[in-house]
Amino acid sequence: MALAEILMLGRAPAIVGEQLSRQFTVHRAGPGEVEALSPDLLSRVRGIASGAHVPVNRALIERMPGLEIVANFGVGYDSVDAAFCGERGICVTNTPDVLTEEVADTAFGLLLMTVRQLSAAERYLRAGRWEAEGPYPLTPATLRGRTLGILGLGRIGLAIARRAEAFGLEVRYHGRTQRTDVDYPYHDTLEGLARACDTLMVVAPGGEATRGIVDRRVLEALGPEGIVVNVGRGTVIDEPALVAALQDGTILSAGLDVFEKEPKVPQALKDMEHVVLLPHVGSASRHTRDRMGQLVVDNLASWFRDGRPLTPVAETPFVAKG
């Protein structure tokens, strides 16, 4: 007998559908298909497994009177209205820890690619220009002597900081609160952090509290040698201000894994050869995505078997199963 009816929204690894189908009655909907779901089906569904690009917003939640849990595929859950879920007693879970080291690897790779123009250098070779024109030009930037400012020294931020230390970088950070378990210098404003460093690593969550906080003033404070890397959320950076700062030399370069309106990326960014652009691949290995998927399944199973989630988010502070 199925534990409950579950709605799977958007994309997730195959193991999620396979494993959920063994324990639950599963319905699926992709982007643009949610509006067409019948009131009868929505009233029966007690859990959502939410993948990328399908928001679990107030409008959807209000159509689901029996909803008990939203298990988000991803540690960032800005596409789920978690505050509203909290008000309604609906549990929200995410996928922390299992992706931390993978995303930190991607972030550091992106930093190196950006500082040393590695994608442009590879394009140069593939186009036959090494043979025809000689060596690729020396890069204006080096990692040597850089100071890395981390916006959001959480799980992933800390894993990036450890890598940065191994590469000989000075690390500083900004967040809403100063950590008591690290010695890295803390800045109580983002502009203060930007002034004290030349390389800004954005790894803070999306949502209204962080919308556009990396703005023109922060980019100016970073300065003409400045490099911005974003693996957090595209919405954290004022994207038009970033484009302008790259075009007029306010900062030197950027490496971006996330964008304001994914999968759309401004043409102005694509036109800049020295900027490195990745299609949101921070956690995108089979190994890590399968572990994230497993945690989605385990959260739903734990909820419907024992009434306890494994990894609830702060807005819905259910007691996690030990």
Active site residues: 233, 262, 280
DSSP secondary-structure letter at 235? G
The DSSP line for 77-122 is -TTB-HHHHHHHT-EEE---STTHHHHHHHHHHHHHHHHTTHHHHH
Among 10, 13, 149, 157, binds ligand NAP (CB under 6 A): 157
> Is 312 a binder of ligand NAP (CB under 6 A)?
no
Q: Which is nearer to ligand NAP, 42 or 92 (CB)?
A: 92
d(CA 277, CA 273): 10
CB 200 within 8 A of CB 227: yes
Q: Which range in 85-93, 121-129, 139-147, 174-182 contacts ligand NAP by CB under 6 A?
A: 174-182
Phi and psi based region of residue 32 (left: phi greater than 0; alpha: psi -120 to 50; beta: remaining)? left
Rule CB under 6 A: choose which of 282, 293, 309, 312 binds ligand NAP: 282
- 6, 8, 99, 295: which one contacts ligand NAP (CB under 6 A)? 99
**CB-CB contact of 185 with 172 (8 Å):** yes
Q: 46 vs 233, which CB is nearer to ligand NAP? A: 233
Q: What residue 52 binds from ligand NAP, ligand 8YV, none (CB within 5 to 8 A, per partner kind)? A: ligand 8YV
Residue 257 binds ligand NAP (CB under 6 A): yes
Does residue 282 interact with ligand 8YV by CB under 6 A? yes
- Binding of residue 152 to ligand 8YV (CB under 6 A): no
Identify the three-state secondary structure at position 132. helix
Give the residue carrying structure tokens 């259910």.
318
Task: Count residues near ligand NAP (CB under 6 A).
Answer: 28
How far apart are CB 36 and ligand 8YV at their closest, in Å?
Answer: 23
Residue (179 or 280) nearer to ligand 8YV, CB: 280
- Kindly state whether residue 205 participates in binding ligand NAP, applying the rule CB under 6 A: yes
- The item of ligand 8YV, ligand NAP, none sharing an interface with residue 275, based on CB under 5 to 8 Å by kind, is none
Residue with tokens 């497994």: 49
Locate all alpha helices (DSSP H) within the chain, ordered by sequence. Answer: 14-23, 39-44, 58-62, 82-88, 100-115, 118-126, 129-133, 155-166, 190-196, 216-222, 239-247, 267-270, 286-306
The first and second tokens of residue 321, run together, are 């199963």
What's the CA gap between 36 and 260, in Å, rounded?
27
CA distance 42 to 65: 8
Positions 48 through 107 that interact with ligand 8YV (CB under 6 A): 52, 73-76, 99
232 binds ligand NAP (CB under 6 A): yes
User: Taking CB under 6 A as the rule, does residue 111 contact ligand 8YV?
Assistant: no
Residue 223, burial from CB neighbour count under 10 angstroms (0-12, 13-18, 19+): middle
Q: Residue 24 or 173: which CB sits closer to ligand NAP?
A: 173
13 binds ligand 8YV (CB under 6 A): no
List residues near ligand NAP by CB under 6 A.
75-76, 96, 99, 103, 152-157, 175-177, 203-206, 209-210, 231-233, 257-258, 280, 282-283
List residues near ligand 8YV by CB under 6 A.
52, 73-76, 99, 280, 282-283
